[in-house]
Structure 1
Amino acid sequence: MKPIRNSRRALALASMVAVGALTLTACNDDAGAADTPTAPPATGAPATPAASPTAAATTPAASGSASAPAGGAASGAPAAPAPAGSAPAAGTTLKLGESATIPFSSGSTKGTIALAVTSIEKGDPADLAPLNLGDKAKGLVPYYIHYKVTNAGSTDLAYTSVNHMKGLLADGTEAQELMVIGSFPKCKSESLPKGFTNGQSATSCAVAMSPEASRIAGAEYWGDPYTLGKGLNWK
């Protein structure tokens, strides 16, 4: 199966948990219960999915993948700094390790976070073996986008999830995304822990897939108040 849909449309569907034909299912025998919250989620906040079985979903990349049309995130000069007290403007580019303070919402929970992509690590195609993706991952290399979330507001953000993080290829276009449900030790992505109040920090990870001939050179956060292709970038 070689989907030729535009990545923006595919990701919009994925955000509504309706990726349809783009969803690849896999069974990870190593998935355990360690990623399941030890307490019920806060009212209105999504619960962490069960760790087993593991499912993976990929969405087609923009240019940089032979089967995808051109498109993707803008790669121009960084936007002008945002006024004091507001979120950085869409398109702002930060250095790895540099944080941005932005509004955050998950269901009925709203707050403020400081977000920073700390590193982008090249993985090994063999890392994907437990996900049983088979030929669907042929010619692709996983990269792990590590990022840090700090509660910069007054709301307890326990059990919410900060996702909407994706990779950018060397030419600035969107990388193919891999979503994993369950345990994937190479790139752990979990809900924020209990008691995630002001000043508390946690780390998370997103998997981006690159063709062997390219590489993941940056990352984009496109969660609210941003949109895909018009978010915050780290390089």
Structure 2
Amino acid sequence: MKTSLGDAMKRRALCTTAVGALVLTGCSDTGQSLKFGETANVSGDRTGSVGVTVVRVEEGSSADLSGLKDASKYKGKTPYYVHFKLTKTAEGNDDDETSHFEVSKDGQPLSELIVFSSFDATGDPSNPLVTRRFDRCEGVSHTTYKEAAEGQSAEGCAIFLADDKTGEPSSVAWTRRSKTLATWKK
């Protein structure tokens, strides 16, 4: 069977298009691309939907970590504070427990630091305990979000650590079960 140069080029173009479509299909789990301050509307874990907004990412200093227990293990680390807002956009999205933020610098993940409040004994019988919190960045209460009515928001902050030489994060992603639902970049 004899084929012309034009037929061969058409077949090559079709093959190239098919391969390109397959490559793009493999990348479809990247979700919505947004800038800080924009809201991604994503389905809830089980029902409903949630509006997720990364308001800003703020650089802290290593001094912020000096009050933590075993503070020496954070030497050479810079905290970055991801300020966010979760808005219940449809009734029923009460338990989105499998979604979380992942923060990275040029594809290298930063470590999330979760700080719990502590209760310290004062020795004073009239005020036996004092609560210490990490006021610089507080997470959102799961109860606050769960009890919010449709259209209400809960604001919070998440802490991520980078080596001092790493620099500011380049992206913040909202993920669920290894699937990226939305990514924010400056």
TM-score when scaled to structure 1? Answer: 0.53
- Among candidates 213, 232, 235, match of residue 165 of structure 2: 213
Alignment CA distance shift 1:123-1:129 (3 Å): same
1:24 equivalent in structure 2: none
- Is 1:204 the equivalent of 2:156? yes
DSSP-derived class of the 2:115 partner: strand
Cα deviation, 1:194-231, whole Å, max 9, x if unaligned, reads 6401100111111011111122222111135xx16x44
Cα deviation, 1:45-66, whole Å, max 9, x if unaligned, reads xxxxxxxxxxxxxxxxxxxxxx
Cα deviation, 1:59-109, whole Å, max 9, x if unaligned, reads xxxxxxxxxxxxxxxxxxxx89xxxxxxx953532111111111223xxx6
Instruction: Return the alpha-carbon distance in structure 2 between the equivalents of residues 145 and 210 of structure 1.
Output: 13
Cα deviation, 1:152-179, whole Å, max 9, x if unaligned, reads 002263x87686113211x222112211
- Among candidates 141, 161, 164, match of residue 78 of structure 2: 141
Q: Name the aligned partner's letter for residue 149 of structure 1.
A: L
Q: How many residues align?
A: 142
DSSP-derived class of the 1:147 partner: strand
2:53 equivalent in structure 1: 116
Matches within 5 A, 1:169-184: 169=105, 171-182=106-117, 183-184=133-134
Instruction: Return the alpha-carbon distance in structure 2 between the equivalents of residues 134 and 150 of structure 1.
Output: 34
Structure with bigger strand share is: 2
Q: Name the aligned partner's letter for residue 100 of structure 1.
A: A
Instruction: Give the drift of 1:233.
Output: 1.4
Instruction: Return the alpha-carbon distance in structure 2 between the equivalents of residues 206 and 95 of structure 1.
Output: 18
- Is 1:164 the equivalent of 2:100? yes
Instruction: Return the alpha-carbon distance in structure 1 between the equivalents of residues 65 and 98 of structure 2.
Output: 23
Q: Name the aligned partner's letter for residue 203 of structure 1.
A: E
Alignment CA distance shift 1:133-1:110 (3 Å): farther
Instruction: Return the alpha-carbon distance in structure 1 between the equivalents of residues 183 and 93 of structure 2.
Output: 26
1:150 equivalent in structure 2: 87
DSSP-derived class of the 1:180 partner: coil
RMSD of aligned residue pairs (Cα, Å) = 2.7
**Percent same amino acid among aligned pairs?**
29
Structure with bigger helix share is: 2
Q: Tell me, which stretches of 5 or more residues in structure 1 are unaligned?
A: 1-78, 81-87
